[in-house]
Structure 1
Amino acid sequence: MPFDLHAVTVQLTAGIGAALAMVAASVLGLVRRRPGWLFVAAICALGPCYYLLGLSAVLATLGALGPLLLVGAGVAMQRGRTDLAAVAVAPVYLAVLVLLLMYGMATAY
């Protein structure tokens, strides 16, 4: 199987690579209490959340709100509300879990 640069680029920007980078950046932002990492996570979330917009209504809502929730968590972190930031990030982790389950189901066949 030849190397396909297009497939690798799609996986890094809208696939598993971007989802894992989003999770890693948001966890770093929450643990180290650095809002900049949460803003980086919001940028990484754009691709996977854009993919969720094409699915059912509940997943489309998670897709539309994902980056906004991460930015909101960053703003809450700037204002010293780490508890609110952790609650705001929880639905984003649910969306990533759904993406990982869909990816696992797609690669099982």
Structure 2
Amino acid sequence: MNQPASAYFMEERRDPSETHTLSVLVQNEPGVLARVIGLFSGRGYNIESLTVSETESQKHLSRITIVTTGTPMVIEQIKHQLDRMVPVYRVVDMTLTGRAIEREL
């Protein structure tokens, strides 16, 4: 008897969560960090680590480095939503480029 498996007995398939480091180049103005954090909290994404600093070469820009965890689909969604924000100039997944420097403090 080759019947299709019942939905009640099927195993739930989940993609494994991965940790990613995102570098977000933003306009250095009041409220930008709150908007970026609001994107994460409003959608239930977790921020493992957060660092913000002004860029040396262009004082009107800041770099926000965010470490977050999620499935590949969730990470892509986060990057897409960050990229659509108005004060955001560029979003780079440092985990994929291999240029991330990680250190536990």
Q: TM-score range by the shorter chain?
A: under 0.3
Give the alignment's TM-score, normalised by structure 2.
0.27
> Per residue, is there more helix in 1 or in 2?
1
> Per residue, is there more strand in 1 or in 2?
2
Return the structure number with greater relative CO, CA threshold 8 A, min gap 6. Answer: 2
The structure whose Rg is larger is 2
Give the alignment's TM-score, normalised by structure 1.
0.26
